[in-house]
Structure 1
Amino acid sequence: MKRKYFKILLWTSLGTTLFFFLFFNDEKTLSSFLITLLLSAMYSFVLGFGNGFINEFLNRKFPWSEATRTRAVLSIISIIIGNFILVYFCNYMNYVVIQKTATIEEFFSSKYGVTNWFMINIALLISAFLHAKSFMEELKKTSRKEVVEQKLIAKSANAQFESLKNQLDPHFLFNSLNVLSSLIDENPRQAQKFTASMSKIYRYVLEQKDKELVTVEDEIEFARTYCDLLKTRFEDSVDFTFDVAREDYQKYVVPLSLQLLLENCIKHNFATSSKPLVIRIFSAGNILCIENNLQVREQIKESSGIGLSNIVQRYSLLTDRNVFIEKSEDHFKVKLPMLLDKPQVSSVKPEDDSAAYKRAQKRVKEMKSFYMNLISYCTVCSFLIFINLYTSSRNQWFWFPVLGWGIGVASHAFQVFGVGDSWQEKKIREIMNKQKK
């Protein structure tokens, strides 16, 4: 139990002690006050800890979000049985052991039946409040989780959109077609090879566009093909080095990340035969590095950095490991984390998630309505029993509203947790399946 919960029970004990001592106790002595404090503490802590233990046990074994119907049925059963036992234990200790106003035979006779019933109703009220509070807290947690999931879905869709926009720079296609056009007349065989490489690149883009992760081997093979095209275009002005360990080939990286980084190297640096641009791709531990010598090209407009931010965003959806960017006076390096396993990514479509959220929202409203009905029943019935017994204990008219409203609450419980719409829909599907056969 939490320390805060212990303090609440302690203050409840002191409050009830003062109330009963000042208004329902004729002897204003220290011993009378201590006895009242003892009894109040016993009722508060036994009922409080008992109901709290039952509630926490059910929270661990049958959470509201995972087993709603089972949890609701078990909550109702545990509220009735648990409080029946706890109240009888407290009343037995009060009247038989501590105050000694009744014998064991008298306690279990009809003489104390009304008192026990009244205390059970009070305990049911407290327990119903605790379970309703637990339900509302679980509802808040689930709502926060669903909001986060919706944000992740939107963020993932945005990342995929940006990825598609940045997979291949239009300038690369334009320049490659220019190179191909010149090769057709000068070197037809090289032009044919160049065309085959372009076909591989675009086929890889189409194959990987919907994947979350690809193996390092596939990405390196694609990068080699891409570098061959760049080498044909820039000749001796660009030099590529691959130094990735074979044992890292079965690890995973974000698809097309190397292409975006290679394109950035070409876009932001000048390359000549006298000052070639040297790009090195290598592995170090669980990191895939892309490094180039810095030869900054003068830009007409400042770079937006969409390519790098897109890679960082896609990694953030898959792992807690970060993409690191290092820049010095003469070198620029990007470090991509290599993942050992593919993370479990939810494949639920936004439409399906939205429909499920609406059904869950409707379900929550039904359960909330039932618990409000249950709390109202316990509160009002306890008040009616107190008024009836206080004014006229012989004429026990409180049974009529207790039983009448109780039947209504039981019917509401069966409708929400037992034979509601979900049960009807299930039966309809069973009948339709039988008819199809």
Structure 2
Amino acid sequence: MKRKYTIILLWTSLGTTLFFFLFFNERKDLYTFMMTLLLSTMYSFVLGFGNGFINEYLNKKFPWSEATRTRAILSIISIIIGNFILVYFCNFMNYVVIQKTATIEVFFSNKYGLTNWFMINIALLITTFLHAKGFMEELKKNSRKEVVEQKLIAKSANAQFESLKNQLDPHFLFNSLNVLSSLIDENPRQAQKFTASMSKIYRYVLEQKDKELVTVEDEMEFAKTYCDLLKTRFEDSVDFTFEVHKDDYRRYVVPLSLQLLLENCIKHNFATSSKPLVIRIFSDGDTLCIENNLQVREQIKESSGIGLANIVQRYSLLTKRNVFIEKSEDYFKVKLPMLSAKPQVSSAQPDDDSEAYQKARKRMKEIKSFYSNLISYCIIIPFLIFINLYTSRGYHWFWYPALGWGVGLAFRAFKIFGIGESWQEKKIREIMNQQNNKNNEKL
């Protein structure tokens, strides 16, 4: 136990001693004060250290954040059993051993039943409050930790996205300069024309590389310009076909994705006038496809795979939909998802208005309300029992509010820590995952 906890128990013992000595003892002498101090210290430390040990043990074995439902059930059971044993021990030491006002037989008879029952409920009240306080402190700590983790995840995703986008600039420049160096020797006039066209294309690269998504229309216009550039170099060795529906022009794809895929087609396949490389760009459902006939050239140096990997990673940061790659003996095809909405990478950051945050706040309020009701139950029901037994022992009417209120609390606990909404949410997630799997299979 911590030193702070021991000091709190000492102050509690002193406060309880002064309260009982001043208001419930007729004799005001040193012996009475010391006896009251001894009994108060015994009750405070036995109940305090006993419940503290139970709480620490449960914190190690069943933390609130990892096993909330199990911990809640075990806390209730351990509080009831633990306080029943501790209170009976303290009362036994008080009345039988220290004050010697009762024998063992009398102590376990009905005469001390009300006293023991009342003390157990007082102990339950205090212990329930301490367990609820511990739960709320751990919940706040975990909430702050989760917010920090989500912010770090969001920053990491943004940094990763920026790193991926920054790969495009040098990659495009390197490949364009390679094409230009080849044209200078083969055809200087075409090299000059290529340089002018490359400046226009490079302007587009600079404008779009900082964007997360661009419209299919913009990407198609850029791809056509880039294909004209390739046509300048390869002439009849390469043919391009565009068959994208006009309705798909307002959808979104990652910028420069077509340019990277066109580069891959040229890089990995040979093209001659007798065996031209045919590249086809078309829309298929909600995907934008780029397909070429397979004429694999021998690679002296193994490909780094930066182009296709870049596209796949950028899509993974923006959507759950996948980039599909198909390869056969005759053709190679890449399917890019066309998005109807424009997601933001920064949306991974936690927000006070987010749906998840609102659900967490609602659940926190429900749990706080439950513990408030439980504490009220532990205060009011023992008081009603005392009033009932004190005024009329023959008719035990206290059972009606105790059972009615208790059943309500049980149902509330079952809803919060049992199947309730958590079961519904799990079922909804399961159905949604099944539906997503079906959609992916169709694609």
TM exceeding 0.5: yes
C-alpha displacement of 1:108: 0.7
- The match for 1:206 among 308, 315, 326 is 308
C-alpha displacement of 1:4: 1.0
C-alpha displacement of 1:180: 3.0
Match of 1:278 in 2: none
Partner amino acid, structure 1, of 2:305: R
| Residues 358/201 of structure 1: CA separation in 2 closer, same or farther (3 Å cut) | farther
Instruction: Return the alpha-carbon distance in structure 1 between the equivalents of residues 312 and 160 of structure 2.
Output: 8
- Correspondence 1:182-221 to 2 at 5 A: 182-186=181-185, 196=267, 203-207=305-309
2:66 matches 1:66: yes
Instruction: Return the alpha-carbon distance in structure 2 between the equivalents of residues 99 and 395 of structure 1.
Output: 33
Match of 1:54 in 2: 54
> Which secondary structure state, in structure 2, belongs to the residue aligned with residue 101 of structure 1?
coil
| Residues 211/430 of structure 1: CA separation in 2 closer, same or farther (3 Å cut) | closer
Per the normalisation by structure 2, the TM-score is 0.57
C-alpha displacement of 1:395: 6.9
Partner amino acid, structure 2, of 1:97: V
Instruction: Return the alpha-carbon distance in structure 2 between the equivalents of residues 37 and 352 of structure 1.
Output: 52
C-alpha displacement of 1:387: 5.1
Instruction: Return the alpha-carbon distance in structure 2 between the equivalents of residues 427 and 173 of structure 1.
Output: 47
Whether the 8 Å CA contact 1:95–1:101 is kept in 2: the answer is yes
Tell me which moved more, 24-33 or 402-411: 402-411
How many residues were matched structurally? 292
Question: CA deviation digits over 1:20-71, x for unaligned, max 9?
Answer: 0011001111111111001001111111111111111111111111111111
Instruction: Return the alpha-carbon distance in structure 1 between the equivalents of residues 41 and 9 of structure 2.
Output: 8
Match of 1:98 in 2: 98
Superposition CA RMSD, Å: 3.9
Instruction: Return the alpha-carbon distance in structure 1 between the equivalents of residues 392 and 18 of structure 2.
Output: 26
Whether the 8 Å CA contact 2:46–2:90 is kept in 1: the answer is yes
Match of 1:28 in 2: 28
| Residues 426/140 of structure 1: CA separation in 2 closer, same or farther (3 Å cut) | closer
Identity of counterpart residues, as a percentage? 71
Instruction: Return the alpha-carbon distance in structure 2 between the equivalents of residues 180 and 208 of structure 1.
Output: 22
Match of 1:378 in 2: 378
Instruction: Return the alpha-carbon distance in structure 2 between the equivalents of residues 181 and 68 of structure 1.
Output: 65
C-alpha displacement of 1:158: 1.3
Question: CA deviation digits over 1:179-238, x for unaligned, max 9?
Answer: 5324334279xx99xx859997783243257679xxxxxxxxxxxxxxxxxxxxxxxxxx
Instruction: Return the alpha-carbon distance in structure 2 between the equivalents of residues 427 and 177 of structure 1.
Output: 52
Instruction: Return the alpha-carbon distance in structure 2 between the equivalents of residues 180 and 425 of structure 1.
Output: 56
- Correspondence 1:105-124 to 2 at 5 A: 105-124=105-124
Instruction: Return the alpha-carbon distance in structure 2 between the equivalents of residues 208 and 175 of structure 1.
Output: 16
Partner amino acid, structure 2, of 1:183: S
C-alpha displacement of 1:166: 1.6
2:364 matches 1:364: yes
Match of 1:177 in 2: 176
Partner amino acid, structure 2, of 1:113: G
> Which secondary structure state, in structure 1, belongs to the residue aligned with residue 25 of structure 2?
coil
Question: CA deviation digits over 1:131-173, x for unaligned, max 9?
Answer: 1011101111110121012202220221022113321436x74
- Correspondence 1:7-406 to 2 at 5 A: 7-169=7-169, 173-174=172-173, 177-178=176-177, 180-186=179-185, 196=267, 203-207=305-309, 350=348, 360-386=360-386, 397-406=397-406
Partner amino acid, structure 2, of 1:85: I
| Residues 135/427 of structure 1: CA separation in 2 closer, same or farther (3 Å cut) | same
Match of 1:291 in 2: none
Tell me which moved more, 363-372 or 121-130: 363-372
Match of 1:330 in 2: none
Question: CA deviation digits over 1:346-381, x for unaligned, max 9?
Answer: xxx959997766655544333222211101111222
Partner amino acid, structure 2, of 1:118: F
> Which secondary structure state, in structure 2, belongs to the residue aligned with residue 20 of structure 1?
helix
Instruction: Return the alpha-carbon distance in structure 2 between the equivalents of residues 356 and 201 of structure 1.
Output: 43
Instruction: Return the alpha-carbon distance in structure 2 between the equivalents of residues 429 and 157 of structure 1.
Output: 24
| Residues 176/211 of structure 1: CA separation in 2 closer, same or farther (3 Å cut) | closer
Partner amino acid, structure 2, of 1:79: I
Unaligned runs of 5+ in 2: 188-232, 235-265, 269-298, 315-346, 432-443
Question: CA deviation digits over 1:9-29, x for unaligned, max 9?
Answer: 110000010000011001111
Whether the 8 Å CA contact 2:12–2:44 is kept in 1: the answer is yes
Whether the 8 Å CA contact 2:150–2:350 is kept in 1: the answer is no
C-alpha displacement of 1:84: 0.6
Whether the 8 Å CA contact 2:147–2:350 is kept in 1: the answer is no
| Residues 61/210 of structure 1: CA separation in 2 closer, same or farther (3 Å cut) | farther
Match of 1:242 in 2: none
Question: CA deviation digits over 1:231-258, x for unaligned, max 9?
Answer: xxxxxxxxxxxxxxxxxxxxxxxxxxxx
Per the normalisation by structure 1, the TM-score is 0.58
C-alpha displacement of 1:105: 0.8
Whether the 8 Å CA contact 2:50–2:86 is kept in 1: the answer is yes
> Which secondary structure state, in structure 1, belongs to the residue aligned with residue 65 of structure 2?
coil
